[in-house]
Amino acid sequence: MDAKALPYISVLGVMFGTTLLASRFSVGQFHSTTYAGLRLSIAALAHVLVYLLAVRGRQWPRDKALWWRSALLGVLGTALPMNLIILSLEFQSSGLTSILLTLGPAITVLIAHFALKDERINTRKALGVGLALSGAVLLAALGETGLPNVSQANPIGYVLVISAMIMGSAMTVYARKYMQAMDAFDVASVRMLAASLFAMPLSIAIWGFDLSQVTTQGYFALAWAAVVGTFLAMLLAFYNIQRFGASPAAMVMYIVPIVASIGGVFLLGEQITRGMLAGMSLIVVGIAILNQRARRKELPKNV
């Protein structure tokens, strides 16, 4: 990996990791769906401002296919997974949740095997997926929660995170299959707008809109998660991919669990157990194997 990429990738990992911490803190003050809806709405507003201010000449997208596909991506790939992940934080620590989220690439590989003809699982991928999933199974078998004074995990937390990852990974494959030629920022903007228009009204209709328990710290956590962890982090992620490539940019997934786990211990009173470290090790090794590219032997050139 280019050494120049390390600061950018580290900053992005801190953004994502601290966003999980902010979300874990916020579930004690907001209803989880209210928090998710507000977070998406603030991030969507930031996207809209980019177009209103014509930053770098940005014009609002007019491609109907982009709007329909991005809207679907926003509902199934952003709004619903985010709600499930935030809800899971009521049952387990931000550190454990971040470890489980590292499974994302392994689940994507499995789905891509059946949905994309050029993404078949080979021996290396099978080994990586197997190790990563065994780490998740170990965490579940040990009943890890990352929370003090909780002896046995509530399986609902695991089910929520895994369900969110399956949905997110399926939509990642969908985007790779149908949206590769579309402008990435336009897709992200419409995706965020659609996600907010779905999540916020639905939350209000089902759960109402009560902010009476929210403190100043709670509003700050919401603003951080929306502006830094959702909008600015997305911009930095795009920048990293464009400048350093997809493989170095993917290294951020190794930083997020470290930030979320250590931050959870010092800021939220969470804990890191040997079982969590063992499960995380298996998952990280599995994902590292998935990220490796088999080296091709160079063929001699004709002179």
Q: What is the pLDDT of residues 151-167, one digit of tens each?
A: 677 899 999 999 999 99
Q: Give CA–CA dist 152/8, Å, rounded.
A: 38
Q: Which pLDDT value is given to residue 92?
A: 94
Would you write out the chain's pLDDT as a tens digit for each of its 303 residues? Answer: 567 888 999 999 999 999 999 999 999 899 999 999 999 999 999 999 999 998 888 899 999 999 999 999 999 999 999 999 999 999 999 999 999 999 988 999 999 999 988 888 999 999 999 999 999 999 999 999 999 877 677 899 999 999 999 999 999 899 988 998 899 899 999 999 999 999 999 999 999 999 999 999 999 999 999 999 999 998 898 888 778 876 666 788 889 999 999 999 999 999 999 999 999 999 999 998 987 764 443 334 444
Q: Which pLDDT value is given to residue 118?
A: 81
Q: Which pLDDT value is given to residue 116?
A: 86
Nearest C-alpha neighbor of 16 from the set 245, 261, 230, 241: 230
> Are the beta carbons of 109 and 130 closer than 8 angstroms?
no
Nearest C-alpha neighbor of 165 from the set 267, 76, 92: 76
